[in-house]
Amino acid sequence: MRSSDARRAPLGLRAAAWAVVAFLHVPLALIVLYAFSAEDQSYVFPPPDLTTRWFAVAWNDRPDVWRAIRLSFEVASYATAFALVLGTLAAAALARTQFFGREAISLLLILPIALPGIITGIALRSAYSTLEIPFSFWTIVLGHATFCVVVVYNNAVARLRRTSPSLIEASMDLGADAFQTLRHVILPQLGSALLAGGLLAFALSFDEVIVTTFTAGQQTTLPIWMLAELVRPRQRPVTNVVAVVIIALTFVPILLAYYLTRADEPGAR
């Protein structure tokens, strides 16, 4: 609903909008500042002195951080791989079809992120307990893949709807069979949307804590490590450094995903 005349927004509205944006970002900036703070006992503001010492400490002396990062990375990789396959299949089936029960199926796919994480968590936990499945790497992956499917599905469905069906018809008219059309026409069209969906699914899994606490048992993923530090801080400066690393690690896939799918947004020009 862009205004046709190049009118500027009223001052109050502009100020309110930018104030909210600042509200969203100042806390993140503050974490970066604290990572360099020389104070290691409290959260005193402003930091009395700045140092890069804690980056070295986190890098060299904390194998527990590295183990947690490694486990999160592995879980996210497997969860993303499962989600990519399942989400793409579901998108291919539902993008341009109409049949009885279609709405129910798409609701079912969205349900794992629409319901609070704690319900997904306790549901999986009671299923594991009822079936007497012991906690393992795969019990975490199973939970993560379930709510990552919808992210891939959303991206793939948006792209498939935007891709003209006449492209596929043209390919078939020119003599390609379904597999050749899939390889030379559909997949190249879908590629960047799948990459974006995969990146977001990865970021989602890498960061997930609520479901994970119910499905991990004694294993420590990076978010579970972070949660433990939040509840009982062990070495605050190291936590600050890890927080900055997480910000850096998650911003990259999110920004990449945004640039890959910009054109799929409904309001995009």
Partner 1 sequence: MTALAAAALPPVKPHPVSDFFYRRRALLVLLLLVPPLLWVGVVYVGSLLALLANSFFGLDHFSGQVVREFTLKNFAELGTGANLDVVARTVGMALAVTLACIALALPVAYYMARYASGATRAALYIAIMLPLWSSYLVRLYAWKLLLAKEGAISWVLAKLHLSWVLEALLATPVIGGHSLSFSPLGTFIVFVYLWLPFMILPIQAALERVPASLIEASSDLGARPAGTFWRVVFPLAVPGIAAGAIFTFSLTLGDYIVPGVIGDSSMFIGQVVSLQQGTAGNIPFAAALSLVPIVVIALFLWGAKRLGAFDAL
| Residues 166-225 close enough to bind partner 1 by CB under 8 A | 172, 175, 177-179, 200, 203-204, 207, 209-210, 213-214, 223
CB nearer to partner 1: pick between 31 and 57: 31
* 40-99 binders of partner 1 (CB under 8 A): 42-46, 82, 85-87, 89-90, 92-94, 97, 99
By CB under 8 A, tell whether 256 contacts partner 1: no
Distance CA 256, CA 30 (A): 24
* CA–CA separation, 135 and 142 (whole Å): 11
> Judged by CB under 8 A, which stretch of 68-76, 117-125, 156-164, 186-194 contacts partner 1?
117-125
- Tell me if 100 contacts partner 1 by CB under 8 A: no
For residue 188, the minimal CB distance to partner 1 (Å) is 18
Binding segment (CB under 8 A) for partner 1, from list 54-62, 67-75, 116-124, 159-167: 116-124
Of residues 57, 81, 185, 243, which one binds partner 1 by CB under 8 A?
A: 243
Residue 33: other Cβ atoms inside 10 A: 14
Q: Are 31 and 246 in contact (CB under 8 A)?
A: no
Residue 131 C-beta: closest distance to partner 1, Å? 8
User: Segment near partner 1 (CB under 8 A), from 68-76, 126-134, 157-165, 186-194?
Assistant: 126-134
> Rounded to whole angstroms, how far apart are CA atoms 91 and 157?
5
CB 192 within 8 A of CB 262: no
Rounded to whole angstroms, how far apart are CA atoms 242 and 251? 14
Look up residue 41 and give its amino acid: Q
Number of alpha carbons in the 13 Å side-chain half-sphere of residue 185: 21
